[in-house]
């Protein structure tokens, strides 16, 4: 074996090692990219769930508030009708006295 053949084999070996390293780095990069993508998907799912939960809580609070206001309006209407009936009875009593 001549010196040039040894150099050529070493160069070829170095080139093959470099190629393997590039392939490994490429696979590592693709794997990392996939992990990052999955992580982002999970974070987005979590954020969506948190937002949905906040909306649900807000909607429930608003429904409870609406029901409370509706109940107050009903009580106010009943009281108003009652006062109106009392007023009519008093007016009738006053008219009957004359």
Please determine, for residue 23, whether its predicted confidence score (pLDDT) is greater than 90. Answer: yes
Q: List Cα–Cα distances, 79 to 87, 88, 89, in angstroms.
A: 12, 14, 15
Average pLDDT across the chain, whole number: 95
pLDDT at 16: 95
pLDDT digits (tens, 9 = 90+) for 27-66: 999 999 999 999 999 999 999 999 999 999 999 999 999 9
DSSP 10: H
Cα separation of 7 and 17, whole Å?
A: 15
pLDDT, average across residues 3-30: 94
Q: How confident is the model at residue 97 (pLDDT cuts 50, 70, 90)?
A: confident
The closest alpha carbon to 26, from 34, 98, 12, belongs to 34
């Amino acid at each position: 074996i001549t010196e040039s053949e040894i150099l050529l084999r070493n160069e070829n070996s170095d080139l093959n090692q470099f190629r393997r390293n590039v392939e490994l780095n490429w696979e590592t990069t693709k794997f990392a990219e996939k992990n990052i993508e999955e992580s982002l998907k999970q974070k987005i799912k979590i954020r969506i769930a948190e937002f949905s939960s906040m909306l649900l809580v807000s909607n429930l609070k608003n429904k409870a508030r609406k029901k409370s206001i509706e109940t107050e309006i009903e009580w106010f209407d009943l009281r108003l009708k009652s006062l109106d009936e009392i007023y009519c009875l008093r007016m009738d009593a006053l008219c009957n006295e004359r």
